[in-house]
Structure 1
Amino acid sequence: MSEQYVCSLSAELQQKAKLEVNEDPDTRQKKLDQLRHLFKSRPDILFRNDDAFLLRFLRNKKFDVQKAFKKIVHYYEVRRDYTDLFGTFKPLDYKYIFDAEMEMVCPGRDSDGRKVIIARNSRWDVDRYDVAEGFRGSLMMMETILQEEETQINGVVLIADYEGYTMKHFTKSKPSIMKKMSDIYENALPLRIKAVHFVRQPEIFSKLYSIIKSFMSEKLTKRLYFHGEEYGSLHKYVPSSMLPADLGGQLPEFQNKEWRERLLASNEEFEINNKYGFPKAVGSLGVADVGEEPGAGIAGSFKRLEV
C-alpha cells in the first residue's frame, strides 16, 4: 500500500491550484478514485497508481478525469513505441550525457514560481552523441522536475540557446526525433510549458524552426519568443539573477552539478517506474520482463493496481 498523500503546497499555491487547475482538496480523493477506476478498461497496461504520480496528470488536465486518463495511456504508449528514446531509461546508463551539461536547471524560480531550464546546443558534440541520447537525458530531467508539486502547478520555462549550432547539427536533428519529442512534451508528459525562449539563433536556425513548428500545437507556438543576441528582452521574462553570465545574467557559469547528482541518485526510482506500462516481450523462461509486481525499493512510493 502506498502512503496517504499529503499536500506540500503552500496555502497560496493551493489557492492558485484551485483557480488554475480546478484542484479542490474536498474532491481530490474522489477524482483520484475515479481515475483509478478507468484503469480497469485497459487491463493490457500495468498502471502506476500512487496518488503523487496520478496527481501530476490530473493537475495537467485541470482535474478532467477522462483527459487525465487519456494522457496517462499515451504516456505509456510513447514509452513503449519510442524505443530510441525510452529503450534504456536509467540515469546511471547516461551519466556521460549529464556530465556534458547540455542543460542547466536554473536555481530558484521566476516571479511566477516556474522552473527555468536552459538547453545549450554548443554542448552537443555531434561526433560523440546522437540527438536521441541528448533528448533522453532531457526527458529524465523533466521526469525528475515533475516530482515537484510547485512545478506541477506553476509550470516550466525553457530557454533554447543555439549558439554554435551548425549545418552539422542540423543534419543530425532528424525530423522523426523532433516529432517524437514534440509528442512527448505536449501529449504525454504532464508538463505545463509556459514559455519557450530562443536565444543566439544562427541563420540556419530558420530551417530547423520550420521543422519544429510543424509539430507544435497552436497553443505552444503562441508561447514562443525569439531574442537573438538581445539579452535585455530575455530578462523581461526571466530575471538575470537566474541566468549565467554569458546570457547577461548574474550567475558566474553555466553548470548543473546539483541536478546531475540528483538524477544519478534517483536511478532506483527510474528502474521501478520503468516496470509499469505495457508488458515487454516474454523472455526465454516464459516470464514477462514487466507486468510483475514492482519491488518495494522505495517504500510507500508505488502501488500495483489490483483488478
Structure 2
Amino acid sequence: HPQFERAHLQQFSIQKQSKAEMASAVDDDGPYTYDGVEKRFIKRAEKELNEKPAQVTAHIASLRRWLGSMPHLRCRTDDRFLLRFLRVAKFDQSRAQMLLDNYLTIRKSPKGTPSWFDYPSVDSPEVKEYLSHPFHVFLGHTSEGEGVYVSNMGYWDQQKMTFEQLIRCMYMSVDAAQMDQYSQINGIKILVDMNQANRNQMSFFENRKNFFSLMRNWQDAFPVRIRTVIYVNEPAFFDVIFTLIKNAPFLKEKFKKKLHKVGKDYARLRKVIGEQDADRLLPKELGGSNGTLQELMEWTRNNFGSERMHREWRLQRQEMEVDESKRLPTTKDYLRTEDSAADATTGIQGTFTKLNVD
C-alpha cells in the first residue's frame, strides 16, 4: 500500500531518529541483544553474513578467547565491539581475528599509522574547524538499511588544519559509522563530492606512504562493509589519481570494483544510490531534498558531543595496546606494510615521482 510504503521509508530519514540510531546508541558492556534491529535485517544478517542469532554469543566468546591468548594485544572485549569484526568477516573466526589485529595495529603500533588515531579533544581548534564545515556528513539509511555518507575535502583550509589533523577528525567520524548496527549488517555507501577540491588539497597523494596507508586502512583494518564509493563532481586532474587507485596492486579487485566516477551526471548518481532513496537522501547540493550539507552537519556535531562517542574514544585511548615485541609468528604478516608489500611499493613507485596534474 502506498501510504504504508511512504511511512516505512520515512523511518530511515535523518530528520527523525531512526531505529538504527537508537540501536547504535545502546552500547554497554552487557550481553548483546537485537534490540532496535528490524527482523528483516536480522534475517538478512543470517543469509548474507552467516549470523545465526542462537550462535552469536558463542562466536563472540570464541573471538574473546583468541584475543586473550594474544600476548601482544590488549583490547576491550565487550560484545558489541567484537561483533563488528565478526559481521564484516561473515563470522569467519580467522578473518575476524586478522581484522581485529589489524584494527589495533594501525592505531597502536609503529607498523600502522598511530599518529592518525591520536585523537584531539572535541574542544580543540582542529575539531572546531572540522565541525564548522561539512567534511563528512551522514545522510541517512536507504530503504535496505545501508548507511549513506558524503565526504568533501574541498572545505579543507590548509592554513587552519594540517593533513594529519584532518585525517584524525575524519577517522573520528568513521568510528561513529562503525557503531551503527544497520551499517554493520547492510553496509555503507560513500559519496566523495569533489566540487571544491583543488590540486593542492590532493597533493598528499604524491606521498606514497600516505596513499598506501589510507587505502590499506580502509581495505584491511576497518570493520566496515563498504558497498560502493562514488566520486562526484571530480575535476579533470582527478583522472590521474583515480587511475592510480584502480591500478594499485595491493588493492583487491573486489574493492576496486566498488569504486565509481559519475562526474556531474546526477542521474547516474541517483541510480547508484537507488532511485527509490536518492531524492530523500541526497542533499540539495547534489540534487536531492534532504536539506543542505550544513543543515545535515548538525547530526555530526551532536554525535561528537555524545557520551557514546566520548566512551568510544576513551576506550580506544585507555583499553587498547599493541606490543610488537610479544607478537606471535602466526600474526606477523597480518597487516600489510609499505616495506613488506613489495608489489605495492614497486608497482606504484614510478607513479609517485610527481603527479603532473593541471
Q: TM-score range by the shorter chain?
A: 0.7 to 0.9
Q: What SS class does the counterpart of residue 134 from structure 1 fall into?
A: helix
1:151 & 1:32 partners in 2: Cα distance? Answer: 19
CA–CA separation in structure 1 for the residues paired with 2:119 and 2:293? 27
Is the aligned partner of 1:262 residue 2:262? no
Give 1:66 deviation, angstroms: 1.6
For the pair 1:242 / 2:268, whether they are aligned, the reply is no
Higher mean alpha-carbon deviation, 182-191 vs 39-48, is at 39-48
Residue equivalent to 2:93? 65
1:22–1:148 Cα change, 3 Å: same
1:49-104: per-residue Cα shift (whole Å, max 9, x none)?
11000000000101111210111111110002313311235544423212232121
Does the C-alpha gap of structure 1 residues 192 and 166 become closer, same or farther in structure 2, counting only changes over 3 Å?
Answer: same
Correspondence for 1:74 among 102, 111, 131 = 102
Q: Check the 8 A contact 1:75/1:188 in 2, yes or no.
A: yes
Contact 1:103 1:119 in 2 (8 A): yes
- Report the counterpart of residue 136 of structure 2 in structure 1: 103
2:318 matched residue in structure 1:
275
1:263 maps to amino acid: F
TM-score (norm 2): 0.73
**Partner Cα distance (1:251, 1:63) in 2:** 35
State the TM-score, normalized to the length of structure 1: 0.85
**Equivalent AA in structure 1 for residue 231 of structure 2:** F
Corresponding residue of 1:161:
193
1:224-283 deviation digits (Å, cap 9, x = unpaired): 221111101101122122112221111331121122221232324311232222268xxx
In the alignment, what sits opposite 1:6?
Answer: 33
Distance 1:150 1:228, change over 3 A: same
Query: In the alignment, residue 179 of structure 1 is paired with which amino acid?
Result: F
Distance of 2:252 and 2:304 partners within structure 1: 30
- 1:178–1:113 CA distance, 2 compared to 1 (3 A): same
- The correspondence of residues 172-183 of structure 1 with structure 2, limited to 5 A, is 172-173=204-205, 174-183=207-216
When residues 193 and 114 of structure 1 are mapped into structure 2, their CA distance, relative to the original with a 3 A threshold, is same
Alignment RMSD (CA, Å): 2.1
- Picking from 125, 142, 145, the partner of 2:174 is 142
> In the superposition, relative to structure 1, how do residues 23 and 91 fare at CA in structure 2: closer, same or farther (>3 Å)?
farther
Which letter does structure 1 place at the counterpart of 2:138?
V
Residue 292 of structure 2 is matched in structure 1 by: 253
Please list every run of 5 or more consecutive structure 1 residues that lacks an aligned counterpart in the other structure: 281-307
Identify the residue that residue 130 of structure 1 maps to in structure 2. 162
Alpha carbons of 1:252 and 1:7: their partners in 2 closer, same or farther (altered >3 Å)? Answer: closer
Higher deviation after alignment, 121-130 or 12-21: 121-130
Larger deviation, residues 42-51 vs 57-66: 42-51
Aligned match of 1:295 = none
Cα distance in 2 for partners of 1:43, 1:207 equals 44
* Residue among 88, 109, 115 paired with 1:84: 115
Name the SS of the counterpart of 2:318 in structure 1.
Answer: coil
- The CA distance in 2 between the partners of 1:72 and 1:162, in whole Å, is 32
The Cα offsets for residues 80-136 of structure 1, whole Å up to 9 and x where unpaired, read as: 231331123554442321223212111x31132111111113211233222222222
Q: 1:63 to 1:27 in 2, by over 3 A?
A: same
Task: Give the distance between the partners of 1:248 and 1:262, measured in 2 at CA.
Answer: 26
| Residue aligned with 1:261, SS | helix
What do the CA deviations read for 1:139-171 (whole angstroms, capped 9, x no partner)? 111211221211100111000111122221222
Q: Which moved more, 1:184-193 or 1:236-245?
A: 236-245
Name structure 2 gaps, 5 residues minimum: 1-27, 324-358
Establish whether residue 187 from structure 1 lines up as the match of residue 215 from structure 2: no
- What is the correspondence of 1:1-80 to structure 2 with a 5 Å cutoff? 2-8=29-35, 9-80=37-108
Q: Any conservation in 2 of the 1:121–1:163 contact (CA below 8 Å)?
A: no
Query: In 2 relative to 1, CA 122–279 (structure 1 residues): closer, same or farther, beyond 3 Å?
Result: closer
Determine if contact 1:163/1:201 at 8 Å carries over to the other structure: yes
Q: SS of the counterpart of 1:274?
A: helix
Moved more, 126-135 or 60-69: 126-135
Structure with more helix by fraction:
2
CA–CA separation in structure 1 for the residues paired with 2:31 and 2:87: 18
